[in-house]
Structure 1
């Protein structure tokens, strides 16, 4: 029996599916790997598969009761395991819905329980709405902010003073920085190793860089050097954390639908939709996903 670089025997190699999330077009959105049966893979093998796939995240179903719609899931970037990944959750949920039929599923992740509702859109595309774990948000420390700005090559005056820097959580921690202009957001040329070092020191999964076009529409970019990826085209976990951030700033005065446009500066446009209420600490993140040919 031979073996391959993924660390698994070739005769027992898992099927690797590829989906693009938060898009109706496989040329857009954020690609994710999906392994529906990873019960025979250990952590090293899953990490090797994620590195081979090369996407920012791959979701691995490691177990679940037979006949149920509840599954245990782990997420790996090419470099490390992460507790939760939004776009890979949407990709996985759509893959499951295509095989089991639309409806509710529940994912048990390292971050906690994540319910996901799936449905078929009018054009036949399958969409998913994940409900995050409880979110939280706090003001970023000066030391955190200064280190991040230095690695980004941004100046304090590049920030929108009406949207203060925060560290927000929606399954993972993300530093949220609001750019003062769309031009500042578009010009992203950062110190990859330097920012990765800062993020590891503070436990941040991505930086969620946003520009507010209107109260209901934001543009975002998400550097992800700690995962070995320059930038994510769509980041569902950061979007959930951002919903908690908006709540902390009292920018969700009533049930709100927020749209985030991401990936446009990368040529992979993505659309993420947030539903949040002032009373609920959880955020609903919605988007479609399609197989990558």
Structure 2
């Protein structure tokens, strides 16, 4: 990839899963990272300071295929939904809307982009195949202790699972909105539990209705207390709902996240009982440099 491609090696900043730059999840995007090695990408991600920065390391704009890698301030991450959406929107603004294909460390991720009213670009990513399994007692007990939660704080209708859509996420459903809203956890303890099990986030949810959920995602393993909008976890959560038998043919749910952080965002999650993949949609808008 060269500068003749029209793509930039500058660090771009977008808020994903929001049409308002004051909401959603900020992501760094480098559309031409061909000159960066691993250490250089990690250094850029640490400088940006967002939960993730996406790097396009190779690609063909004419064929709309790109190789994408993701780094948190502390380490490389196999897959990141909000940075995927941010990158897709940044590319669509430069090469036009339509389908893009990203080669990522976890596999091929198709993303459909379109322009809506007012010129805001929307992106729909399709995850790799999802899977979900019940959490073990030792996994659950250690996590609850780090969170300062009790088993009585959980919704018994939505049991704890470890869900995958490129990364593993522990899914815990709170019994009340108040429990979800009161998040003050032991950062180092939770980071240790997550590293021990290879989890990217702990996906905390509360079910307002069968199609509306509220979520929070602690991300201490990435050096971030909380992620404001987490597309990878939302995709894994869609697979979790399918595994529980809560998808009657097809289901579209809305996940609201970032409300408790003052950065509200909205993720549309589409699940089909016959397809192991999950679609996650949202908008992204540029942030001031």
TM tier, shorter chain? over 0.9
Partner of 2:3: none
1:71 paired with 2:66, answer yes
Partner of 1:282: 277
Partner of 1:157: 152
Partner of 2:53: 58
Aligned-residue Cα RMSD (Å) equals: 0.8
SS at match of 1:123: helix
* Structure 2 spans left out of the alignment, 5+ residues: 1-7
Q: Deviation string for 1:187-243 (max 9, x for gaps)?
A: 000000000000000000000000000000000000000000000000000000000
1:234 to 229, 237, 240: 229
TM-score scaled by structure 2? 0.96
Partner of 2:5: none
Partner of 1:88: 83
SS at match of 1:64: strand
Counterparts of 1:122 and 1:47, CA distance in 2: 36
1:208 to 200, 203, 206: 203
1:27 to 9, 22, 27: 22
Q: Deviation string for 1:158-207 (max 9, x for gaps)?
A: 00000000000011000000000000000000000000000000000000
* Structure 1 spans left out of the alignment, 5+ residues: 1-12
1:128 to 87, 106, 123: 123
2:132 to 113, 134, 137: 137
TM-score scaled by structure 1? 0.95
Tell me whether 127-136 or 116-125 shows the greater mean CA deviation. 116-125
Q: Following TM superposition, by how much is the alpha carbon of 1:115 offset from its aligned partner in structure 2, in angstroms? A: 0.1
Q: Following TM superposition, by how much is the alpha carbon of 1:66 offset from its aligned partner in structure 2, in angstroms? A: 5.4
Q: Following TM superposition, by how much is the alpha carbon of 1:124 offset from its aligned partner in structure 2, in angstroms? A: 1.4
Partner of 1:14: 9
Runs of 4+, deviation exceeding 6 Å: none
Q: Following TM superposition, by how much is the alpha carbon of 1:58 offset from its aligned partner in structure 2, in angstroms? A: 0.2
